[in-house]
Structure 1
């Protein structure tokens, strides 16, 4: 799927940040914690306090590993970002944005950041380990969902997306690969590198960001847009869950532009009247006419498709998920080629990164952070 984020419009060069498409050659590095911090026992948090257990994923900037804290014995997911792979200011802003959003959010359906630190060549994010893997993997494994099953995940995702909007965050990259499932089967939204943190006087965005198969028309056309763009993407995700593929699946950029400019998305006839109406209203090309365009998530909560959903119980995770996770073997829902790799070391890098210091990157989630809302990143 085509992940894009560029500034000047459809003619500009595409930057592909797909987590499965790139790799780098890593060499030697001496790990130096430039901004040491303390854990709950008053000790400095550094790489040496984590035992690397398994590879979980890899991407354009680095990789993700399962690690265990040597003192608390807790398991975490450690995201390692290679500084020299963060080649320009836009990419650096993506990294800083994700780091900031992970700090300022606190919700059942958002991945939690526990620690962040850096060396001369790498950035480290220590996050909660979400053991159920990506929703994408489950969809690929089990095929399209029934409306009942889709409704459960649609409701949890709606609550998480609503929370982000309440924090003045435009997500911009909602898709199955960015939705994790925990050990019980509840969702966790992740990967906020393409998100925007809005200031109160600037609730608009203009960067062309997202994944082409899900992206809203106003973004494709290079127009200034609001958080209403997330509701189109939300509709595209629901469409994907119900049909097994997103609306713009395997289309060329030219064909996608045709849809953005005026061609309607065809809703499958086998869907219920309520589901058809929900998708039709989420796929309104005019962001102001789109469901969620005026009163944000409240309009979607009130749609007849969700009439039997208790959103308060849902937010408290009191409703049992439709995917049974408890009896599954460990790591079943991860890339087995990565899981089985024998090397789980934090591979060294010989050169200093181009950006040797990322200001305000260090973080300790187990202590009060006086950085809260100090750094506001907009783009």
Structure 2
């Protein structure tokens, strides 16, 4: 899913797999937040003006909205409760909501508000205007190594941050990487993520998107955050070749690649790029690049020898694509954008999961309170 993910991914699409074990399915994601805005008023739909449609999915839709007081633009994701059919789907919503709460980074989409009605859930996210990396790959084809290296570096920093927060992403792919107006990346859609607790850094749920999924997940083995480095390698493969490693393969063929066959890496790539991909796409997680010292091993790889990761993290290096001069909403589904009807469609069915406890959130209020403390002290 993602905030401003212009295609909802909460419900896994046909080429994704999603099987949650009973123990993990029963775990409740808890969060506690203030339920009012800075004026003490409860956050609600009437605080926002709906401007246009941005995207739709199985659970609802995404709209561009404007806060009536601040005039700021946001992406509002509306989820219909009755579309949440199982407890595992509910858990995915709660997980994403929790991940967005506990993260704060340049390369992670930001949640500003969350609230609910009897029939719907509302996530008010930052509006990321550059669309999905998937769109740009489809438009321009495979990237040069120079361009890929920039985005690979930003994605690496974002993944490293998630891992340091004890979060296994599990669904890194071009559709879940957004570009802001300057061309920098934003990771989104954390519904399939695993928030690890101290002493429990393993997962066993079978979930992800088939073309990018790590072998240990496909085989149903216990796995760690190292699974993200396989997926990262598959993503880089896609960016450099124009297709993911398991593109258009059947599930049986993917199982064969996961257990027996090696992925063929094109010889037209540089030696450093080939070596990086080979080491990221090792079937054995312990032998995989990142398997021992996590992101640090990848930072040190020769492919990134000319990258200043501190400048990358501070967004001090200009992206290859400058999206600032593009016409508004160019990177969105134009059929949706052109629709004249922009409103929050009423839903009469309450749905099975009416109560999403502790869903309300006001990130702006928390940020302002933190700033006040910094000024006082």
Is the contact between residue 34 and residue 362 of structure 2 (CA under 8 Å) also seen in structure 1?
no
- Computed over aligned residues only, the root mean square deviation of the Cα atoms, in angstroms, reads 1.4
Which of 102, 105, 116 is the aligned partner of 2:103? 105
- Match status 1:312 vs 2:310: yes
Aligned mates of 2:338, 2:245 — CA distance in 1: 34
Structure 2 unmatched runs, 5+: 1-13, 23-32, 368-377
Aligned mates of 1:40, 1:137 — CA distance in 2: 38
The correspondence of residues 77-92 of structure 1 with structure 2, limited to 5 A, is: 77-92=75-90
The correspondence of residues 289-304 of structure 1 with structure 2, limited to 5 A, is: 289-304=287-302
Match of 2:280 in 1: 282
- Match status 1:40 vs 2:53: no
Structure 1, residues 47-87: CA drift from partner, whole Å, max 9, x if none?
A: 01111111111111111111000010000000111101111
The correspondence of residues 1-379 of structure 1 with structure 2, limited to 5 A, is: 2-7=15-20, 37-368=35-366
Structure 1 unmatched runs, 5+: 10-34, 370-379
Is the contact between residue 68 and residue 74 of structure 1 (CA under 8 Å) also seen in structure 2?
yes
Structure 1, residues 207-262: CA drift from partner, whole Å, max 9, x if none?
A: 01100000000000111100000000000000000000100011000000000111
Is the contact between residue 116 and residue 359 of structure 2 (CA under 8 Å) also seen in structure 1?
yes
Structure 1, residues 108-132: CA drift from partner, whole Å, max 9, x if none?
A: 0000000000000100000100010
Aligned mates of 1:347, 1:279 — CA distance in 2: 46
Is the contact between residue 36 and residue 45 of structure 1 (CA under 8 Å) also seen in structure 2?
no
Number of matched pairs: 344
Point out the structure with the larger helix share.
2
Q: Secondary structure at the match of 2:197?
A: coil
Is the contact between residue 122 and residue 353 of structure 1 (CA under 8 Å) also seen in structure 2?
no
The alpha carbon displacement at 1:36 in A equals 8.9
The alpha carbon displacement at 1:101 in A equals 0.3
Q: TM-score, normalised by structure 1?
A: 0.89
Aligned mates of 1:239, 1:359 — CA distance in 2: 41
The alpha carbon displacement at 1:42 in A equals 3.2
Match of 1:374 in 2: none
The alpha carbon displacement at 1:38 in A equals 2.2
Is the contact between residue 238 and residue 244 of structure 2 (CA under 8 Å) also seen in structure 1?
yes
The alpha carbon displacement at 1:8 in A equals 5.9
Aligned mates of 2:366, 2:130 — CA distance in 1: 29
Is the contact between residue 20 and residue 88 of structure 2 (CA under 8 Å) also seen in structure 1?
no
The alpha carbon displacement at 1:344 in A equals 1.4
Aligned mates of 1:198, 1:353 — CA distance in 2: 30
Aligned mates of 1:245, 1:267 — CA distance in 2: 12
